[in-house]
Amino acid sequence: MLIRISGHSGAGKSRLLAALPSVGITCQRAILYTSRPARVGEVHGRDFYFLSRSAIAALPPQDFHIGPVRDLLQAVDLQQLENDLQSYGVAIIEIFADLWPGLVAKMQERLKTPVASASVFMTAVDPGLICAQPDDRRAAFIRSEVKRILTWRNKDLPDKIELRAASAAKEILQALGPKGSALYTEVLFSAPEGPDGEDEWTIAGGPTGQASVVLKKFAQFFKTATG
């Protein structure tokens, strides 16, 4: 089974993954290749494999699922994911929504069998507040909230923040829209990722507050999905 986590920038996806052992979840996690530079504290081979855009584009397509993620290029090692699924039965992957359908199709082709999957979408913008906005104001509201989160996180240049906030509006509205239930098993209202040691995921004694709530919800989702 593939457990998929998607969500906008700053939604706390990496924080959630790092916290999973604290609730007893230690299954294999697919490590993606990305063309963006490593941020402070990130480790090559642990968080991502950091390669140039040209190096990722040159990876053999029969062994890697490659595609654009906002202004980046990312790739999934299909052989490694196949090994993880065959050896352990369950793997978690944090992946951009647009790359997911192609990945599932390629894995089913490689494994010669349907691949069970379950998906969650994480948003650090309160879905209740989004739905309370007039339809024509929802995208602008999301962009403003995500810009605030990413500015606080302070890990991206201003032009990248603008790009990621605009993409977040599309991603969140898709997840909350009429087709969202067909794309995701659950939409989780998460605590945002902030500076290390200052957000609810990493503050002393954390996860606390909303981070603790979403961690428990994900643990229940994982237990239900994997039986």
Tens-digit pLDDT profile for residues 50-89: 999 999 999 999 999 999 998 899 999 999 999 999 999 9
For the domain that residue 169 is a member of, what is the CATH number?
Answer: 3.40.50.300
Exposure class string for 5-26: b at 16+ Cβ within 10 A, else e: bbbbbbbbbbbbbebbeebebe
What pLDDT sits at residue 137? 98
State the pLDDT confidence band at 41, using cuts at 50, 70 and 90: confident
Q: What is the mean pLDDT of residues 29-53?
A: 95
Neighbouring-strand partners of residue 48: 44
pLDDT at 204 over 90: no
pTM: 0.94
H or E element that contains 189: strand 186-189
Checking if the pLDDT of 40 tops 90, the result is no
| Higher-confidence position of 35 and 71 | 35
- The rounded distance, in Å, linking the Cα atoms of 180 and 121 is 9
Instruction: Find the range with the poorest average confidence among 38-42, 153-157, 217-221.
Output: 38-42
**pLDDT of res. 162:** 96
Q: For residue 113, give every residue at least 6 positions away whose Cβ sits within 8 Å of its Cβ, in sequence order, or none.
A: none
Q: For residue 6, what are the β-bridge partners?
A: 121
Average pLDDT over residues 112-129: 96
The residue segments making up the domain with residue 9 are 2-226
Is pLDDT at 211 greater than 90 in this prediction? yes
Q: Quick one: pLDDT band at residue 24, thresholds 50, 70, 90?
A: very high
* CA dist list (Å): 153 to 137, 150, 193, 227: 25, 5, 6, 36
Is the pLDDT score of 124 beyond 90?
Answer: yes
Domains contained in the chain, number: 1
CA dist., res. 200 & res. 191, Å (int): 7
Q: If you average pLDDT over every residue of the chain, what do you get?
A: 96
Q: For residue 41, which amino acid is it?
A: G
| DSSP notation for 85-131 | HHHHS-EEEE--GGGHHHHHHHHHHHHTS---EEEEEEESS-HHHHH
Residue 7 has pLDDT above 90, yes or no: yes
- The pLDDT value recorded for residue 206 is 84
Query: Who's near 199: CB < 8 A, 6+ residues apart?
Result: 12, 15, 191, 192, 193, 206, 211
Q: What percent of the chain has pLDDT over 70?
A: 100
Rounded Cα–Cα distance for residues 121 and 23 (Å): 19
Distance CA 214, CA 70 (A): 25
User: Are 8 and 172 within 8 A, CB to CB?
Assistant: yes
In this structure, the dihedral spanned by the alpha carbons of residues 92, 93, 98 and 104, taken in order and rounded to 10 degrees, is -60
pLDDT of residue 205: 83
Closest CA to 172 of 199, 209, 214, 133: 133
